[in-house]
Structure 1
Amino acid sequence: MMHLAVLLLVISYHGTNAVTRACPYKPADIVFVVDGSGSEGLANFQKQLAFIQNFTGQFEIGKNQTQVSLVTFSTDVTNEFNLNSYARKVDVLSAIGRTNYPNGETHTHLALDYVRLHSLTPQNGSRTNVNKIVIVLTDGKSNEEALTVQAASLLKLRRDVSVIAIGIGNAVDPRELLAIASNKNHTFTVTSFDLLETIHQDLTDTTCHTCGQGPADIFFLLDSSGSEGSVNFRKQLEFVNTVANEFDFGPDTTQMGLATFATGVSLEIPITRYHTKSEFMQNVLRVLFRDGESNLHLGLELTRTQLSDKILTVKSHRFAIILTDGRSLEHERTVEEARKLHMNGVETFVIGIGNDVDDMELRDVASDRSHVFRVNTFDQLDNIHQQIVDRICAEKTVFPTTTTTTPKPTTHTTMSPTTTKPTTTTHKPTTHTTMGTTTTTKPACGPKVADILFVLDSSDSEGPENFKKILDFVYNFARQFAIGVNNVLFSLITYSSSVNVRFYFNTYTSRNNVLNAIQNTSYIGLGTNTSDALHVARTEIFQTQHGSRPNATNIVIVITDGRSRNPNATVVEATLLKKTAEVFSIGIGPEVDQHELSAIASKPSYVMQVNSFELLHTIEGKITEAACSGRI
């Protein structure tokens, strides 16, 4: 199994300049493998280089930070520069810009072999216990598909290597991309070189959330004492699911368990019980508030037992995440149990909530000072979830050779605890580009489960240019969300005289694929058969065979610029649809029927209208807030 942890801090944009900060806890070795075959041409090749420069610009470059290498391939392979060739970012970016277009055939297998045998070797700068990322960009099929698959398989045998494959244009073979990449979530496609920048943030997100395929066991210990109350306890459970949602589950990847402590201790979910994320997350929310005193030492003892060799038969990284809002009842016993936990090789994180925690005790319980976190309220827990995930991923970089470690020295030196301001966002911002401008938004609604259907008017009253503006609006709305089988799924239908299902909820389950499908939706340009579109939404889209989930909130967003062909039928279908989904209606321009918009929407606040297609972006925040508020 591969083992990788790649961490990126928030990447935000002001104009077009990125904040240069990435991989805050562990360095990385990144090798770009760039197609330079004759099918591209010089101009498109240079667009690849510009994309690579922008991506590289996020990192702190240096021999103790991130190193970058570049390999080009066509008929032959050219090593442009090694990982240890440049120690300054300016030199790396300059070298990328000087890269020559090789022209020729598409011998991808030679490039993959070169990376394995030369680029990722110590003499060329590859470092021990450092994340290794290989990013392959190609615009077509390789000349030797079997050899390419073989070369990729050999490269991926390395535990510390993750391979990302980016396909550009219509000549790419999706099967070959998947064979090159570490997994399906490590593949990206764009329809042209001009659209490479649209996956910049998606590539960053994928790299950020790549946390290795090696096994890890994570155990949560939650304070359930009387000082919290059931409402705040529930917020701890939601925090557990927010963290859990960032990891892949399985006996060979990640297992999680949960216990609570108060006067006594309760093993709520044993570490080996659930092997799927959905099972774990559903049962987390069923855990009951216990009430009582704060016997943290009993919880630590149970945590050590759950993360012991007697329970865990696979050598793995072991983590404990402890949440508390006060002082333990027996401080000395708590410190002793924490010491035993550290002795057993468990990386222990502790989160103090509120003003009644003992900072000294938090530091004693944590296995490292950097593993101590503080928030002022339970509502701020979400603000630190990504920091916790990133720390865990950083610890996973080095595969454990033993289950015991030398305990870290305990010190009582006064220090400022890790704090989080209330304004810190829960997720990393998403950067998207439309009409030449760049904006930054945070992922909406958190890791909630929702099925969102867009019903788009594609009638002749719009024209292709205005329809493209609708797609831009949908694209920018969708990319705010955490997209996936345990988060938000999207479906899209267009209608004119007939209804076209563009994709179902289970057609695309990755963010990149959903956004590409939205971008590639074609314009029809005939009548306005709204009633049939609502009928298809109700009878076909929200069905289990098409990915609709029983535990998800159903949301429909209808966008139209005119009146339906059959108003009475539209009202009837809308009434039926609203029994199974929350329906929003967006009207564009002066020709919209206000009464019909109101009849379509589930409530008056779900009706929105703009005077022109150019103004759609002005209601993006409003509809996001309305969709999230109490719904998603």
Structure 2
Amino acid sequence: MTMRFATVYFAVLATSVVIAHRIGAESNLKSFVSPYEEILCQDPADIVFVLDSSRSVTQTDFKKELDFVSSFVKDMDISSNKIQIGVVTFSDNVKTEFELNKFSQKQDIQNAVSNIAHRGGSTNTWLALKHIRTESFITDHGGRVGIPKIVILVTAGGSNGKSKTLNEAKLLHNDPLRVFTVAVGNKVDDDELRAIASKPENAFKVSDFNSLATIEDKVMQNFCRKGEIFCYTPADIVFVLDSSRSVTQTDFKKELDFVSSFVKDMDISSDKVQIGVVTFSDNVKTEFELNKFSQKQDIQNAVSNIAYRGGSTNTWLALKHIRTESFITDHGGRVGIPKIVILVTASGSNGKSKTLNEAKLLHNDPLRVFTVAVGNKVDDDELRAIASKPESILKVKDFSSLSTIRNTLKKKVCKRVCGVVPSDIIFVADASTSIWDADFKKQMDFIISFVKDTVVGRNNTQIGMVSFSTQVINHFYLNAKTSRAAVIAALKGLKQSHGDTYTAKALRFVRTQGFLPSNGGRPDVPHIMIVITDGQSTTPRDTLREATKLAQSNIIAFTIGVGKQIDLNELKVIAGDSSRMFEVANYDTLHTIEKKLFSKVCKIEISQQV
């Protein structure tokens, strides 16, 4: 649904939930720009977050609420003429942290949110609803006339005073409000949620507070008009277009329009985004190389003049050409810059075995490959083999629908990758008996997923791998694997050793051996260690002693604690900063912190080392 104007009100009512993710001020890390701009909400709106600050919420859980607010604000077009943000907390009573008209800058709002204190007290939800109705949107507090008001209430438990809450919910609906509810966990009161939400489809549910991020976009889609994504991170992008008889001339024109539209939002230049185009049918034709054009309009003109050819769908020839020709230096390929392939096809290939073989060879190179499948005649086996990973496959029902995935594809293509700024990263994985074999595999899958978005190489990011139990096993040093494919192949072959959790031994090994020049450590790049564990160490005093020594080195440590048996203090000491410590409920939820971990790890520069 699209709304031109909206006033949005958030009520976040939390009780106790598992999974903490601490995001603190990382004073030794400089700020950086995202590789793309995407304003999810850009129309005028008044948004007031109402946060449960009662004793039903731990300080850790309250921090999650604040993180959710800050994350939500990040995607807003903040100004006095566009989106305004206010925050209210409640427990025994209601406290206005800041009104809608207090701040007009995004960073000021995020700073204010991070400084909100947890208060304790009763969960008086009804007082929060009354405050929404009578105070939050009045003109003196920044409420604007003529803008529909939207309430989004996030709760993890029933209120203190159900009858009062139900009555206030009823009164709330006498005002022109659209009310959404987000239920967190299994202790919510369904009667209250039904009474508060404007209609059934306005109710959302998540399993825990860490999952709030997963419904952020879904909530916003109900009242926000999306902005465009503009890509300006350096990249070499080659489009590979199906020009065979499986595509009609009319549809081929739509293929070209899709490319031209995609290019429109790229920062085109010889030192930013470069575009090349290849077509395939009976044979492969290079329409233009990466270094042919440095002006957006020149690329779009060239694309519009590409001729339809007809013939067989020899996809394998296109893949071979990409692997051997498209990204070489003479054709504009740049060292250390992400190399991206976007293949658009409408059918299975002519020669499936050759296509599968070429796809396998393609992944030996540090390429990120996306496939766009059009219609129902595509070969799913081929798509899976060609794409770098499952989420790199996009499907549409016909060529007219290509425009519907443009923003999605741009966001994937423009995503931040590790390796443009070189770094040395060593993963340290818990392989003790406390971890089931299936969970150890999930741990490896998590690391593999990280590596898939990393440019691996001598001049980019180097990866090392260590596991620990009773003994430390060095699986490979930083200089042992020089390609992403080699790292992933090695990770897939790792075996769990079992034994006790001697974390101290692992820390000592990485500190004294992992980053030595003879083992691949480079003096002019950040040295980063990422530790994953699901339990307290066997020798906690030794672990704390080693963590202290680690803090005195130039190694930047990140820690990921899994499950309920972890020692949070131990993880914090190892990380050296709570903002580099992550916690998840189980190995199935590791993926929920991947994006934030990736962002933090990949923004580190040599001048930022501790």
Class of the TM-score when normalised by the shorter of the 2 chains = 0.3 to 0.5
The TM-score, its normalising length taken from structure 1, stands at 0.39
Q: Which has the higher contact order (CA 8 A, sep 6+)?
A: 2
The TM-score, its normalising length taken from structure 2, stands at 0.40
